[in-house]
Structure 1
């Protein structure tokens, strides 16, 4: 009976040969984080970010060759601004299918920039599955490595990808899996599907171009010179 159920499920899903693109809308939530929640300088800002995250809607727009991930326009308030800051969703992420070269459009004190960077992530495909919005998804894990003046920190990443939509795109520029990522947890941040729209016609994607184009190395040098948000 279980095999029959999955067979019927795949028959009922849109055929990928018909899917030319689409949009996925995500909600985001900020889970408890000991580092942020107990830091006397950050805990109040993190509480505001947790409330602001409940208001955010994020979009992954994609076609057969490329994708764009961004936050939907909202009437912003202080909570939303902090939510975008902690989840890094005030940026725009552009990814090409089967490519490690990516673009990130961001804004800092010196102005707007489009960062041309390369990222090759190692994923471990796990033997776990679940249904997300009617799509059969499989679990994959990786690590987020953060380097700063204090040291090197590693945080778990959990992605649920959908092989029936075999495009290697996902939230925040994550890629490299044999299916679209419908759910992603990065450290304390969880992106979950709110709605999936697939289309049988091509979806036009525009590369981010609002800002000076720089490499990751050039941008990192600018960050070192920038004042911190709390100064």
Structure 2
């Protein structure tokens, strides 16, 4: 069972039509996963990742039209490195809802890339609600489909969004709900809002220009190809 996410909210400004931008901090929780937690080879590394996740923080910057989600800088150690690896925490996302574009930023030994797509999430809105801090949130569900040499796998996605915060963004590049996503669970990983700052300022959020622009299919081919090592 997932551990309890403790959420602390600090709000600046009023929730009104005058609220034009926001900044949100998110924490990371890596929960039990039968595939990893019981695997003879991976379980010890996974346990280290669960500990390291406590030190990883994220930030979402958004106005009414665009958002940028990324991991905050952190001093790494083996636990944090494993947490970043298991949760893909170093991947950042820029979303432009006017252009209906999502840009995913990847970097590693394979290089640095920008991956643009029109990908959207097919949400199913539920009647279930829960209180997060002082805010009433509603449940939405979807699926993450993973295709690899072992087959096709479907992992549950659960989002808790707050209609009273009228920004349709959230962590990890997920958006499209009628309110800010305060908590998101994808398979065994949970992102939970810890601080929200609202502003009347129409904050300008520039799209990062870093890495080579490629398609999702091109990036999959790069990941499938082993690196060529020098002599």
| 1:96 and 2:101 aligned | no
Question: Cα offset for 1:100?
Answer: 4.3
Cα distance in 2 for residues equivalent to 1:27 and 1:226: 33
Question: Cα offset for 1:118?
Answer: 2.4
Larger CA deviation: 46-55 vs 77-86: 77-86
Q: Gapped runs of 5+ residues in structure 2?
A: 1-12
| 1:142 and 2:142 aligned | yes
Residues 37-60 of structure 1: CA distance to partner in whole angstroms, max 9, x if unpaired?
A: 112222121111101101111111
Alignment of 1:110-129 (within 5 A): 110-129=110-129
Cα distance in 1 for residues equivalent to 2:134 and 2:33: 31
Partner of 2:217: 217
Cα distance in 2 for residues equivalent to 1:99 and 1:164: 25
Q: What's the secondary structure of 1:116's corresponding residue? A: strand
Kept in 2, the 8 Å contact 1:92–1:208? The answer is: no
| 1:196 and 2:196 aligned | yes
Residues 119-177 of structure 1: CA distance to partner in whole angstroms, max 9, x if unpaired?
A: 12111111011222322211101111111100111111110111122222111100111
Moved over 6 A (4+): none
- More helix per residue: 1 or 2? 1
Q: Gapped runs of 5+ residues in structure 1?
A: 1-12
CA separation of 1:220 and 1:208: change in aligned 2, threshold 3 A: same
Question: Cα offset for 1:18?
Answer: 1.4
TM-score under structure 1 length normalisation: 0.88
Cα distance in 2 for residues equivalent to 1:182 and 1:146: 24
TM-score under structure 2 length normalisation: 0.88
Cα distance in 2 for residues equivalent to 1:70 and 1:191: 12
Indicate the RMSD between aligned Cα atoms, in angstroms: 1.5
